[in-house]
Every structure is written in C-alpha cells, then in structure tokens.
Amino acid sequence: MTEAPRRTALDALHRALGATMTDFAGWDMPLRYGSERDEHVAVRTRAGLFDLSHMGEITLTGPQAGRALDHALVGNLSALAVGRARYTMICNAEGGILDDLIVYRLADQEFMVVANASNAQVVLDALTERAAGFETDVRDDRENYALIAVQGPASPGILKSVTDADLDGLKYYAGLPGTVAGVSALIARTGYTGEDGFELFVAPGDAEKLWQALTEAGAEAGLVPCGLSCRDTLRLEAGMPLYGHELTTATTPFDAGLGRVVKFDKEGDFVGRAALQAAAERAASAPPRKLVGLIAQGRRVPRAGFAVTAGGEVVGEVTSGAPSPTLGKPIAIAYVDAAHAAPGTEGVCVDIRGTHEPYEVVALPFYKRER
C-alpha cells in the first residue's frame, strides 16, 4: 500500500489558486498555476513566489557541531561565520554524491543543514551516524519549518515593504533572523533561480499569513505564484545542478565540475577523502567527461537520458533538457567526452528518438544576471 503524498502548510492555498499539483519526492507540490513560461518570465523580469516547504531541515547544536559537519561533509563548515551560508555536499566513502546541501550557521554552536526533499532522510541518517562521537545533537527539523522563496529582480523591494530587517546589508549566501509581515523568520539571501532573491524559513502555522502578505506587497511589482516546473527551467538556464540528474552517487564533485566545494585543507579526516583525492587527480590529468551546456539549432527538445553523439558515435548523455524561455531555444546540460566538450566544438548532436539533432556546445551557465 503506497503512502499518501505529504502536504505543505500552504496546500489549501495552492488549490484555491488553481495550481496543478504533482507528486514530488513524496510531497504534493504545485507544478504550475497557469503558464509555466509566464511564471519563468516573471522571475526573470519581476518576481515569483515559491513554496519550498518540502526541503529537509536538519539542525546540529553543541560545542562540536562544526567539527562534526567538517567530518560528515566535504566543506570546511567550522570556518563558516555566524550569519553566513555555504553550498556544500555530502558524499559516501567512494566519493559519490549523496546530496548537495546549503548549510547556515545560525549561532556559534548551531548550524542548519538544508537537504533536497528526495534525500532528506538519507542525509539525516548519515549525519546522525557521522556525528556520533562528537559533542553535538542532530535534530530532524523538517516538521518545524515552512519555506517560502521570493525570487527575481523586484524581490528586494517587495520584501523591504514588509520587513525592517537590513536587507541592503544582507549579502548573497547569508541569513539573519527578522520579522516579515509580523512573522518571525530566518531571512536568507539564497535561491535556485539565477536571480537575486530570498528564502524565508518560518513556522508552518505562519506560512499562509506570510504568503498572503507577500502576494499583496508584490501585486504592484508583478509578483506571481510559481510552481516547480518553472523553478526547473530557471535553474537549468542558470547552470545549477539538480540531484538525480547532474549529481548522483555515480558522480563525484569533480566529475560535476564542482570540485571547489571539497576542502582538503581542513583539519581532521572526512568521509570520502581518499576517494575524492583520487577523483581530483583524475580530473586534473584527463577527465573522462565534462559537464557542458548544449543549445539546439532546431526546435526539438532533449530530455534526460538522451545520447549525445558525434560522427554517429555516442560521446555523452543529456542530464537535463527543456525549452529555454530566455534563449527562445531548447537547451540541455550533458556529460560529454572531454574531446567534444570545448565550447564551439562542431558536429555534436543529440539523438532525439532516432534523429541526430545538431547542438552547439557552450560553457555553463546559459544565463547570468547582471549584478
């Protein structure tokens, strides 16, 4: 007997707005409210409002919380300043990626780890096991948070109208406690869209009040509710990896071109260190495949799993693909043999149901906002 999907604190509101709902990692989530293209364009040009309450929050507290995270994850989290956040990964002993994460240092002895919904339990179990022996407590906080994101160039102005928190002083990948529309929140300048924006961690009971306040505050600026569909095309244009596509247990951070998140110079050993050292050496000498961007010369859309070819031979595989509203063409991210990975390489195609469609190889990201 399959379990019924979980519902966020905003579920009734999404349905009242006419959202198309979908099962995602065991959660009933809004896929779109109307046109996913319109939602995408709103985030690129104005602002969009997202319910991300399916993400998994895990809190570590205690005098050795930082050291425990240094051991459990690939990054140097004990060096993170209070009020800052860091993108990092958790790997297995073989160097394979279990998940990519954002870690926030909330206080000297308190960190919050945010995991992808599909991996939250895996990450919780791994952190609990790896923190054993350290003076720290690992707490599953998934039921204690709702997460609302406001993303897009108009998002700072919208949020300023409902909070007295110092948003101008809040750097990218930083967070501070504050009050938004009368609701206590952790205000983080983070996101997954390639635009400026904020993610607001609040108590589930406050989520609907905050959503409605942001909706009203953003009406004049053109803010719209957005679903998971446009979130995927936004992150794809921004060249941001998605777990289960660009990142898997079969890939290391170095395979994905994200070796910079692995900190070999931190104190103490960490899970996967030896395997990651070997992966770093392989990547430096002769990487077998590289992660690249592909832009269609035609109109057919590539999908994950489609073969990338050159001269009739398979030279790679698409990991993500979709029409790009910003570029006006289909785009894809793919792992491609190093010999065919340089931007401008000619003769690269994607096998779309038996037809080898021509694609241009480009460096990621496809889109980068002006700062």
Statement to judge: residues 150 and 229 lie in one domain: yes
- Total of domains in the chain: 2
Tell me the C-alpha to C-alpha distance, in Å, between residue 28 and each of 5, 22, 39, 40, 310.
5, 6, 19, 21, 41
DSSP string, 109-162: TEEEEEE-GGGHHHHHHHHHHHTTTSS-EEEE-GGG-EEEEEESTTHHHHHHTT
DSSP 342: S
Is the predicted pLDDT of residue 84 greater than 80, yes or no? yes
Q: Is residue 200 part of a domain?
A: yes
Is the predicted pLDDT of residue 5 greater than 60, yes or no? yes
Statement to judge: residues 20 and 163 lie in one domain: yes
Q: What is the pLDDT of residues 174-202, one digit of tens each?
A: 999 999 999 999 999 999 999 999 999 99
- Among 215, 237, 259, the domain-final residue is 237
Statement to judge: residues 153 and 40 lie in one domain: yes
Binding residues for substrate: 199
What mean pLDDT comes out for the span 150-174? 98
What are residue 368's phi and psi, to 5 degrees?
-135, 125
Binding residues: 199
| Inter-residue contact 66 to 73 (CB < 8 Å) | no
Task: Please tell me whether residue 370 adopts helix, strand or coil conformation.
Answer: coil
Average pLDDT, the chain: 97
CATH number at residue 199: 3.30.1360.120
Statement to judge: residues 158 and 226 lie in one domain: yes
| Inter-residue contact 338 to 306 (CB < 8 Å) | no
Q: Is residue 25 part of a domain?
A: yes
Is the predicted pLDDT of residue 122 greater than 90, yes or no? yes
- For 217, the domain range is 6-53+145-237
DSSP string, 188-220: E---SSSS-EEEEEE-GGGHHHHHHHHHHHHTT
Statement to judge: residues 151 and 232 lie in one domain: yes
Q: What confidence score (pLDDT) does residue 1 get?
A: 57
Confidence of residue 3 (pLDDT cuts 50, 70, 90): confident
Q: What is the pTM of this model?
A: 0.97
Q: What is the pLDDT of residues 337-370, one digit of tens each?
A: 999 999 999 999 999 999 999 999 999 999 999 8
Q: Is residue 48 part of a domain?
A: yes
